[in-house]
């Protein structure tokens, strides 16, 4: 028995995946560890108490898309120093996912990671999951000129860098708002509705083509057995 993609996915040549809370379960809680380090970084930067650091951190996140973008704009923070510091977390919570690794390998075409994090951290996480060799390349916040998803600029740079035709590409992300610019470019969009969504997204979900709860489970389901 051979397997082929379900009809709605057969036009896809490039598969693009978000990293955090997407390729591993949101329950893993990595972002909580990063969140703590961001708060500590801001306390040192501004010489303030934890409550004020928290306020500044979340204000930047909601205003600028990421805490880093806000700190760069208002305090000229070095992005390399910031990202190296806040991503210095243990990854013992991340478990290898053989099902995901196998499912990714079956996909025809190229596979990319598109993250608001940086490449060194992303590679560490991919290695911990056991899928680092399943991706052709990754596009991080440096490659997006520090304009995080959902800023359309990063999506345009991604497509230009790798020669991606958006009409033959698919984006998987756990943040619904990050799918809107992808859909505007012509990409097929997949929302991982796993409870990790932070903040409110538009009631209009017309930019979401598919809604799933687990990436590995979804990848297993998009193949049809053929006799």
Residue ending a domain, choose from 60, 86, 112: 86
Q: Does 190 share its domain with 110?
A: yes
CA 4 to CA 222: how far, in whole Å?
8
Euclidean distance between CA atoms 184 and 138, whole angstroms: 21
Provide the number of structural domains found in the chain.
2
3-state secondary structure of 144: coil
To the nearest whole percent, how much of the chain has pLDDT over 90?
88
CB of 128 closer than 8 Å to CB of 91: yes
* Residue range(s) defining the domain that contains residue 62: 30-86
Q: What is the DSSP letter of 154?
A: H
Over residues 143-157, the mean pLDDT reads 95
Q: Each residue of 23-82: pLDDT tens digit? A: 999 999 998 999 999 999 999 999 999 999 999 999 998 888 789 999 999 999 999 999
Mean pLDDT to the nearest integer, 190-201: 74
- Which stretch of 27-41, 114-128, 176-190, 199-213 has the lowest confidence by average pLDDT? 199-213
Query: Do 108 and 216 reside in the same domain of the chain?
Result: yes
Decide: helix, strand or coil at residue 151: coil
Q: Are residues 59 and 11 in the same domain?
A: no
Specify whether 76 is located in the same domain as 186. Answer: no
* Shared-domain flag, residues 55 and 128: no
- DSSP string computed for 63-108: HHSSHHHHHHHHH---HHHHHHHHT----TT----HHHHHHHHH-S
Helix (H, G, I), strand (E, B) or coil at 150: coil
């Amino acid at each position: 028995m051979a397997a082929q993609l379900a009809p709605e996915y057969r036009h896809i040549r490039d598969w693009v995946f978000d990293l955090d809370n997407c390729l591993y379960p949101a329950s893993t809680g990595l972002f909580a560890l990063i969140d703590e380090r961001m708060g500590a970084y801001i306390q040192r930067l501004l010489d303030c108490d934890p409550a004020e650091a928290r306020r500044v951190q979340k204000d930047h996140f909601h205003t600028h898309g990421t805490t880093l973008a806000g700190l760069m704009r208002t305090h000229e923070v070095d992005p390399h120093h910031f990202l190296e510091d806040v991503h210095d977390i243990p990854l013992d919570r991340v478990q290898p996912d053989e099902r995901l690794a196998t499912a990714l390998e079956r996909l025809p075409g190229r596979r990319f990671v598109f993250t608001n994090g940086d490449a060194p951290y992303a590679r560490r996480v991919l290695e911990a999951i056991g899928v680092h060799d399943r991706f052709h390349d990754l596009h991080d916040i440096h490659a997006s000129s520090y304009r995080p998803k959902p800023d359309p600029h990063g999506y345009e740079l991604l497509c230009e860098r790798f020669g991606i035709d958006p009409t033959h590409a698919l984006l998987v992300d756990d943040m619904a708002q990050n799918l809107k610019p992808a859909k505007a470019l012509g990409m097929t969009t997949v929302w991982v509705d796993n409870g990790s969504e932070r903040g409110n997204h538009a009631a209009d979900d017309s930019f979401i083509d598919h809604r799933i709860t687990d990436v590995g489970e979804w990848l297993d389901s998009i193949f049809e057995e053929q006799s």
